[in-house]
Structure 1
Amino acid sequence: MSPTTAASPAPAPATDALPKPSPGAKRSLMGSLIDATALLRAASFKEDSYVAAALPASDLRALADLRALLATHPDQISIWGVPLNPPSDAPADERTDVVLLKFLRARDFRVRDAHAMLLRCAAWRAEFRADAVLDEDLGFKDLEGIVAYMHGWDREGHPVCYNAYGVFKDRDMYDRVFGDGDRLSRFLRWRVQIMERGVRSLQLRPGGVNAIIQVTDLKDMPKRELRAASNQILSLFQDNYPEMVARKAGATITWDLVVGGWELEYGAEYVPAAEGGYTLCVERTRKVPAAPRQHGHNAFTAKEPGKMVLSIDNSGSRKRKVAAYRYFVPKPSA
């Protein structure tokens, strides 16, 4: 067996020894590997169309229940300029159900949880003055077009937001932007401003373009220094911009390979998404000898959409009839 994994960022196999599976567990292990491979080979992510007719009955009931809960609120609630509990005599707004479905999907259609999340988001937007942030000059004009910015669309019409934090490896630049709590707060507000620009460019209608693409270049990013800012940005976006990102892509892909005990062959290549694109050899296939622990690290900067493919073949031994591997794909930071 020659298992091949594909992901972006690329998986990082990490184990020194695997416990010997019981006979009953062998089938589930191999089944899981096959299922994972099939999932990774899926053509592409397909976002929700937000068309009510395409929803299952249970989701439609959840949507109706959320509408009913919001109708009990005495004050009108609006997010991104979309009324979420309009008066009964108001004309229908097709954007309302799209926004409500985003909160429902973010909470797996648990109505009470989605309702609570929506109210927290509305309260945060009022306190943060999110509707006014688009018109503010936050003093980061020199970072626009470099650190975070909206530019262009993908083939399906999604607006694309680019992020590149490598500039902060320069200590003077880092101190200027993140030197104290006030500067960090202003940077977070600026990052929300960029996100609001992206959301305002969405159609928010059934069957329309309802999410953005996030592309993050991890090259030279000082991860330890930016951990606090990254965590706050991620928390803000997860809590207050549900289902607003169709895909996340890492322009610079990094991975680590840890081999324990078995001889194997390993190689890496980048496969462009465009039909007819040329596959790029990142690491030629080579033998990794059996050793207590072999460790490898590499990185690749992609210049076009695609996927990184790591090939691991440890089926060369005549004595070993079952090949097993583990991998972990970390969630990208915002």
Structure 2
Amino acid sequence: MPNEAKVHPTSSDLAETTFYGQELDQEFDIYDDHQAPLVMTISKMKALSEFRCKLEDAIQNNYIYENETSSFTQDAKDEERLLDLSLWGVPLLPSKGHEATDIVLTKFLEATHFKVSESLSMLQRTLIWRMKKGIDEILHENFDPDLGEVGHVSTKKGIKGHSVCYIIYGTYKEKNAYKERFNSYDKYEDFLRWNIQFMERCVQTLDLRPGGTNSIIMIIDLKDAPGPLIKDLPSFDKKMLNLLQNYYPGIIYRNIVINVPLWLLTFHALQILPLTQKTHKFIFVRPFRVAKTLLKFIAPENLPVQYGGLEQETGDLSQGDAKVVHRKIRPLSVECFQIPVPQAGVTAFWSMTVVGFEVSYKEEFIPNDDCSYQILIQKEMRMGKSITSSFYVREPGKIVVSIKNGTPKNKLALCRHWIQSTASP
């Protein structure tokens, strides 16, 4: 219906499909809009209304669990439990009027192209799976401590407010550690269940209310992962992809796999690609493009330094309201960041990164008094990672960081600086 009226719903994140190796937008457009607003036509709104009615009936009449109704008799307590049925902490009974219910239902509708019967069946299968596997209790399970080093739920958000979660397989860079972790079927299944627990932890960070950002950016880091683990990943990823597509529709906004070996892309692409085309957008990133790619989704002050950002691993230094300054460095040129320090007896701190690196930098202190000496803080050296420096200032002046771009390409430099009153070193 070309003239059909359109309205903006309370849900977000229309799933896309991307292919392996696809380039990302403009080179320096790191704040571009990757989340086009979901437009709900009247027919889709009608589908949501019909879905609500069918779900209400299924819960009220005790057939939401299909063939599992034997688990719920007509006992009053069981009926009360059904009325309190929830998913991801959101009540499912539409008549309860919870503000996030429509958000959850829309995710299932999107996954089935707004086919109401299929959406209800998908929701029923999800509830049955969660009941059989005890997913609601999985957060309280204890797994091996080493698994805690694999998954990390960041307290920082993406540019559009998405939750950011990391899975770091370099934890098993020692072959013996990998063999010990996956030397039996039970341990393999234990790892799979831990991944489900980690997914549930990620879901807890979402804001499923109207207007909230209700999906996750999942970053999977393959750096230092042992070869046997990488070879086994496709079969394991197939299981996880099936779980995500069947039981967590619309929860993943982007899967970004970084530090991917070239052979993995070429050898396993056809095995995973058919699954990724359905509901999740996968981006596979070679090591030299990690910072450039991640900065399109995560602001530099929220991206860890090991990925080309400015977030420090330790929070010992209060950075206050320090803002990030962006500056383009033209080919074969030098660009300077100046940090004014108008008073003595303080320490100046600065963090800096250059997307793609391949530049050299120099740091020096220039006093305001022409009779004083300039101080070379850091002689010119090549930048291979994000840097964080500090300098105790004994007299007013400025710190100048010079960046030389010797390449034929434009570079984007990001710098954040702040001042703290400290004792003399």
TM-score band w.r.t. shorter chain: 0.5 to 0.7
Q: CA deviation at 1:95?
A: 0.9
Q: Given the superposition, is the C-alpha separation of residues 8 and 223 from structure 1 closer, same or farther in structure 2, using an over 3 Å criterion?
A: same
Whether 1:151 aligns to 2:154 is yes
Q: What's the CA shift string for 1:256-288, capped at 9, x where partnerless?
A: 799xxxxxxxxx877454653744267xxxxxx
Q: Which residue of 2 aligns with 1:280?
A: 356
Q: How many residue pairs align between the two structures?
A: 239
1:81 maps to 89
Cα distance per residue 1:239-270 (max 9 Å; x no partner): 11111112222332555799xxxxxxxxx877
> Match for residue 59 of structure 1?
44
TM-score (normalizing by structure 2): 0.49
Check if 1:243 corresponds to 2:250: yes
Q: Which residue of 2 aligns with 1:110?
A: 115
CA distance in 2, matches of 1:8, 1:218: 19
Matched, 1:196 2:177: no
Distance across 2 between alignment mates of 1:8 and 1:279: 23
Check the 8 A contact 2:357/2:385 in 1, yes or no: no
Q: Unaligned stretches of 5+ in structure 2?
A: 1-17, 63-81, 267-287, 301-325, 328-352, 359-383, 387-425
1:82–1:147 CA distance, 2 compared to 1 (3 A): same
In 2, distance between residues paired with 1:185 and 1:103?
27
RMSD over equivalenced CA pairs, Å:
3.5
Counterparts of 2:37 and 2:129 in 1: how far apart (Å)? 26
Is 1:46–2:46 an aligned residue pair? no
Higher CA-based Rg: 2
Q: Do 2:51 and 2:120's aligned partners in 1 also have CA atoms closer than 8 Å?
A: yes
Question: Aligned residue for 1:164?
Answer: 168
In 2, Cα distance between the equivalents of 1:105 and 1:211? Answer: 14
1:185 equivalent in alignment to 2:189: yes
The aligned amino acid for 2:356 is L
Q: Check the 8 A contact 1:165/1:220 in 2, yes or no.
A: yes
Give the whole-Å Cα distance in 2 for the aligned partners of 1:100 and 1:47. 20
The one-letter code sitting in structure 2 at the alignment partner of 1:79 is L
Per the TM alignment, residue 93 of structure 1 is displaced from its structure 2 partner at its CA by: 0.2
- Superposed displacement of residue 213, structure 1: 1.3
Residue 10, structure 1, aligned to residue 10, structure 2: no
Task: Give the Å deviation of 1:129.
Answer: 0.6
- Quick check: 1:212–1:245 contact (8 Å CA) kept in 2? yes
TM-score for both structures, normalised by structure 1 = 0.62
Question: Quick one: distance in 1 between partners of 2:179 and 2:260?
Answer: 27
Deviation at 1:48, TM superposition (A): 5.2
CA contact (8 A) 1:78 1:122 kept: no
Residue 11 of structure 1 deviates from its aligned partner by 4.3
In the alignment, the residues of structure 2 paired with residue 161 and residue 251 of structure 1 have an alpha-carbon distance, to the nearest angstrom, of 13
Structure-1 residue corresponding to 2:361: none
* 230, 254, 274: which one aligns with 1:223: 230
Work out the CA distance in 2 between the residues paired with 1:208 and 1:302. Answer: 34
Q: Which residue type is aligned with residue 249 of structure 2? A: P
| DSSP-derived class of the 2:178 partner | helix
